[in-house]
Structure 1
Amino acid sequence: MTSAAPTPWLRRPRPRPGAGIRLVCLPHAGGGASSYRAWAPLLPDGVDLVCVQYPGREDRFGDPLVDDMAATVSAVAGELAPLLDRPYALFGHSMGSAVAYELARALRDGGAPEPERLFASGRRAPADAPPGRVHEGDDEALVAELLRLGGTEEEVLADPGLREAVLGYIRNDYRLIERYRPFPGRPLDCPVSVFLGDDDPEIDTSNAERWTATTTARVDVQVFPGDHFYLAPRRREVLAALLRRLDPALVATASPWPSTP
């Protein structure tokens, strides 16, 4: 699959069929493929960006929601399979980190190679994530959680129409991730990089290192200034750090990077 034509679960904002590696990005709870769209012009020609689009939001607003991890992973794996004709890496933020981990294992168990690297952002290791019941609360409780984490415009939550639409798929995603427990099976064999903001209420360096339980390979942790949604204001730093881990030569061919990681 080398065209820009979308599939239900995948978006390619700037297809690069000749790229040497594909970067598959999975959004946070309530997020969509557009959360990674700004990465496309900053990546070098050697990286093909593939963004996962969960149903029920953005251009899939009318599609039925999916609140089950196994079903989500199975659907993404099925559509991603034709794109695994070259090395790939997975990047997931928050809920997307857990989806990416299970996706990597599902692809491997289905006969595909493991990713070159798994990037887990803003979330504790799957076995360490505390259970939650936010999805069972009323709308006010859900809004309070969103405001605690940041990343959701207060104007959106204040508009009755937008609020109803947004809370529907956000609650769905919380139901998915709060009911998820790691699937049985062996860990990965690829390296894992854990990224986080230094003011993230969900994770710190001590529990970030617990991702060592997910792989037999090396795990490294990098902290960026910011909260749970550090990704947007630190976009260039994040991409520079990501590219250095994939192949330092890619950094030289990307858009200009800041002097610090």
Structure 2
Amino acid sequence: MTDLAAPRPAGVSLVRPRPVADPTLRLFLLHHAAGSHLAYTAWAPLFPEDWDVCLLEAPGRGTLGHLPPYESAPELAGFFLDDVEGLLDVPFALFGHSMGGLVAYEMTVQLAARGLPAPVWLGVSACEAPYGEHLPDQIRLHTLPAPELRTALAEMGGLPSALLEDEDVWAVFEPRVRADFAVTERWRPHPGAAGRVSVPLSLFGGEDDTVVPVDALTAWADGAERLVGQHLFPGGHFYFQGQEASLVAQLELELDGLLPRAPRTRAGQRAAGPVRW
């Protein structure tokens, strides 16, 4: 088994569809449990041309398939930070969906602890708030027997049915799935002020999400020093599927208000006044 702590080249978790040499913003996108950077490939062309869009890939999939997956949110966040530390020389932002939202939050906590620059913005999508005492454990997906786990994943959506129905494919995929859900289900809140979100925060979710209900998502506001916006879209846990353009437009609008420059048009050019969507 590969040693995750062993020396490795920097940037192995980064996928940059269109690298920008001197960006006005570097945006890091973190994927959901059981997912990969492919969740965001349709998003990248929709962002302004002078934003450097960076997709983060967790070990255990894609080009990192030879590495064992992490089962700890703090350790996975540290893995990503080691990779991106050299790219924090320009304004940057973090956005994560589901597990990715938790890991993005954990990255902001660790950035402060390391004395590194803070993101200009944190976007959290379909992720339960990380404050206070957790509710008693209900269903812990990472411990379910395989048939029940596959049923739960099918109900959640976001995964190809062939992946869950093909026994050979599932045998390869299952360890990554269990590790990813362990990342979220074993995580516990930071005590006191260390767990507060001190950077501008925006929340995104689906109106009919049964995995992370609206009240669990909006509870992020209780520990946020600056809540920029809360946005609900039609749909469930993977509400963004089929309406990526609308979500990206909202991300741009909120970030334009935080960056020290004029608003931009959808083509990535600067505009003289506010842009309406």
Q: TM-score, normalised by structure 1?
A: 0.90
- Please point out which of 136, 149, 164 is paired with 2:143: 136
- Please point out which of 235, 250, 253 is paired with 1:226: 235
Work out whether residues 6 and 12 of structure 1, in 8 Å CA contact, stay in contact via their aligned partners in 2. Answer: no
Q: Aligned letter for 2:24?
A: G
2:42 pairs with 1:38: yes
Residues 158 and 6 (structure 1), Cα distance of their counterparts in 2 relative to 1, 3 Å cut: farther
2:68 pairs with 1:64: yes
Where does the alignment leave 5 or more consecutive residues of structure 2 unmatched? 1-8, 258-262, 270-274
Q: Aligned letter for 2:264?
A: L
After TM superposition, give the deviation of residue 207 of structure 1 in Å: 3.0
After TM superposition, give the deviation of residue 183 of structure 1 in Å: 2.7
Q: Aligned letter for 1:250?
A: R
Distance 1:37 1:252 in 2: 18
Matches within 5 A, 1:97-136: 97-127=101-131, 130=135, 131=137, 132-136=139-143
Work out whether residues 154 and 164 of structure 2, in 8 Å CA contact, stay in contact via their aligned partners in 1. Answer: no
Deviations 1:65-112 (A, max 9, x none): 211122111111111111000111110000111101010111122112
After TM superposition, give the deviation of residue 219 of structure 1 in Å: 4.6
Where does the alignment leave 5 or more consecutive residues of structure 1 unmatched? none
Residues 251 and 144 (structure 1), Cα distance of their counterparts in 2 relative to 1, 3 Å cut: farther
Matches within 5 A, 1:142-181: 142-181=149-188
The farther-off stretch of 50-59 and 203-212 is 203-212
Larger radius of gyration: 2
After TM superposition, give the deviation of residue 253 of structure 1 in Å: 2.7
The farther-off stretch of 121-130 and 40-49 is 121-130
After TM superposition, give the deviation of residue 166 of structure 1 in Å: 1.6
Work out whether residues 26 and 97 of structure 1, in 8 Å CA contact, stay in contact via their aligned partners in 2. Answer: yes
2:52 pairs with 1:48: yes
Work out whether residues 189 and 195 of structure 2, in 8 Å CA contact, stay in contact via their aligned partners in 1. Answer: no
The farther-off stretch of 194-203 and 124-133 is 124-133
After TM superposition, give the deviation of residue 17 of structure 1 in Å: 1.9
Residues 260 and 226 (structure 1), Cα distance of their counterparts in 2 relative to 1, 3 Å cut: farther
2:259 pairs with 1:252: no
After TM superposition, give the deviation of residue 220 of structure 1 in Å: 2.2
The farther-off stretch of 27-36 and 210-219 is 210-219
Q: What is residue 25 of structure 1 aligned with on the other side?
A: 29
- 4+ residue runs of structure 1 moved beyond 6 angstroms? none
Please state whether the residue corresponding to 1:124 is helix, strand or coil. coil
Work out whether residues 105 and 114 of structure 1, in 8 Å CA contact, stay in contact via their aligned partners in 2. Answer: no
After TM superposition, give the deviation of residue 135 of structure 1 in Å: 0.9
Q: What is residue 221 of structure 2 aligned with on the other side?
A: 212
Distance 2:10 2:195 in 1: 33
Work out whether residues 19 and 48 of structure 1, in 8 Å CA contact, stay in contact via their aligned partners in 2. Answer: yes
Q: How many residues align?
A: 254
Q: TM-score, normalised by structure 2?
A: 0.85
